């Protein structure tokens, strides 16, 4: 059963659940500042829908715009507008997370770039940890250091690229100076590493377009134990 039209509805921010472990808190702070500057906040929210998956126990899981959701939560905003991408309520918790992982709809990696269990993903936006390298990657993209990719969580691939080449303390103590070094690295031959990861990800993951919400599976499991890809 597919949802032919986007299911858009207002939801309380505090009820949203993340599908990743970290964000760049510097980027969150920047979004908080921009939010305060907006005069027409309702109009802004209407233009920035947060894509979610409906999961077990009717919880809503954010699959993009984690930084915005966290910023709005920290600013005391009560309600946001979400776009329902898929309804996976029929799945048990273990299969749900395996399915999201298979579709690249979650990123269970911590602030050190290490893979963690799905149980380490926090239950609320307030539980997201800070990864300074993600802030570095986000700011570098904003300044044109690299393009926005269609691969999910692409900024985290760049964060891992910088994590092996720059020091965390340098980011915390001299963000501007570290940005200059990051920009040089992004333009160097070494940057073929994340680009190669992007190409591999595009070939290995079947992605559902965020602009076409759908219910991929609400029936019985396939022979593999996972719901079939739409």
Domains of the chain in start order, with CATH, are 9-204 (3.90.1530.10)
For residues 110-139, give the mean pLDDT.
96
Confidence check: pLDDT of 220 > 60: no
Confidence check: pLDDT of 92 > 80: yes
d(CA 159, CA 123): 23
Can you give the pTM of this predicted structure? Answer: 0.80
Residue 109 φ/ψ, nearest 5 degrees: -125, 140
For residues 93-115, give the mean pLDDT.
96
Confidence check: pLDDT of 152 > 80: no
Q: Give the contacts of 120 (CB within 8 A, at least 6 positions apart).
A: 21, 108, 110
Confidence check: pLDDT of 198 > 80: no
Q: Which two tokens stand for residue 129?
A: 């940890």
Q: Tell me, what's the pLDDT at 149?
A: 64
Give the dihedral sign, CA 201/101/152/131.
Answer: negative
Asked whether 50 and 81 are in contact (CB, 8 A), the reply is yes
Q: How confident is the model at residue 143 (pLDDT cuts 50, 70, 90)?
A: confident
**Residue length of the chain:** 230
Confidence check: pLDDT of 8 > 80: no
Q: Give the contacts of 212 (CB within 8 A, at least 6 positions apart).
A: none
d(CA 119, CA 94): 10
pLDDT in tens, 158-183: 999 999 999 999 999 999 999 999 99
Q: Of all residues in the chain, what percent are helix, strand and coil, respectively (each to 5)?
A: 45, 15, 40
Between 222 and 161, whose confidence is greater?
Answer: 161
Q: Is 74 exposed, middle or buried (0-12, 13-18, 19+ CB in 10 A)?
A: middle
For residues 140-166, give the mean pLDDT.
84
Write out the H or E segment, with its range, that includes residue 81.
strand 79-87
Q: Tell me, what's the pLDDT at 150?
A: 61
Confidence check: pLDDT of 68 > 70: yes
d(CA 90, CA 200): 31
Q: How many CB atoms lie within 10 A of CB 86?
A: 27
d(CA 57, CA 110): 25
Confidence check: pLDDT of 84 > 50: yes
Q: Tell me, what's the pLDDT at 154?
A: 84
For residues 33-51, give the mean pLDDT.
93
When the pLDDT of each residue in the chain is averaged and rounded to a whole number, the result is 83
Confidence check: pLDDT of 60 > 70: yes
Share of the chain above pLDDT 90, in %: 68
For residues 42-55, give the mean pLDDT.
93
Q: Tell me, what's the pLDDT at 193?
A: 56
Q: How confident is the model at residue 195 (pLDDT cuts 50, 70, 90)?
A: low
Task: State the DSSP string of 148-201.
Answer: PPSSTTHHHHHHHHHHTTS-HHHHHH-HHHHHHHHHHHHTSGGGHHHHHHHHHH
Residue 187 φ/ψ, nearest 5 degrees: -100, 5
């Amino acid at each position: 059963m597919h949802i032919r039209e986007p299911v858009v509805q207002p939801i309380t921010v505090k009820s949203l659940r993340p599908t990743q472990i970290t964000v760049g808190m510097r980027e969150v702070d920047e979004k908080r500042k921009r939010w305060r500057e907006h005069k027409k906040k309702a109009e802004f929210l209407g233009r920035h829908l947060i894509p979610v998956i409906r999961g077990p126990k009717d919880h809503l899981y954010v699959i993009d715009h984690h930084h915005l959701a966290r910023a709005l939560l920290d600013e005391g905003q009560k309600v946001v507008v979400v776009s329902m991408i898929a309804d996976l309520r029929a799945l048990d918790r273990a299969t749900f997370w395996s399915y999201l992982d298979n579709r690249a709809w979650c990123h269970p990696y911590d602030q050190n770039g290490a893979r963690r269990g799905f149980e380490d993903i926090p239950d609320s936006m307030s539980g997201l940890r800070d990864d300074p390298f993600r802030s570095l990657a986000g700011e570098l993209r904003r300044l044109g250091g690299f393009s926005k990719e269609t691969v999910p969580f692409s900024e985290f691939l760049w964060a891992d690229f910088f994590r092996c080449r720059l020091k965390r303390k340098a980011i915390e103590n001299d963000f501007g100076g570290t940005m200059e070094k990051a920009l040089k690295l992004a333009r160097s031959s070494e940057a073929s590493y994340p680009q190669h990861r992007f190409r591999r990800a595009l070939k290995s993951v079947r992605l559902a377009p965020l602009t076409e919400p759908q219910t991929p599976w609400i029936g019985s499991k396939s022979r593999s134990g996972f719901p079939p890809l739409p």
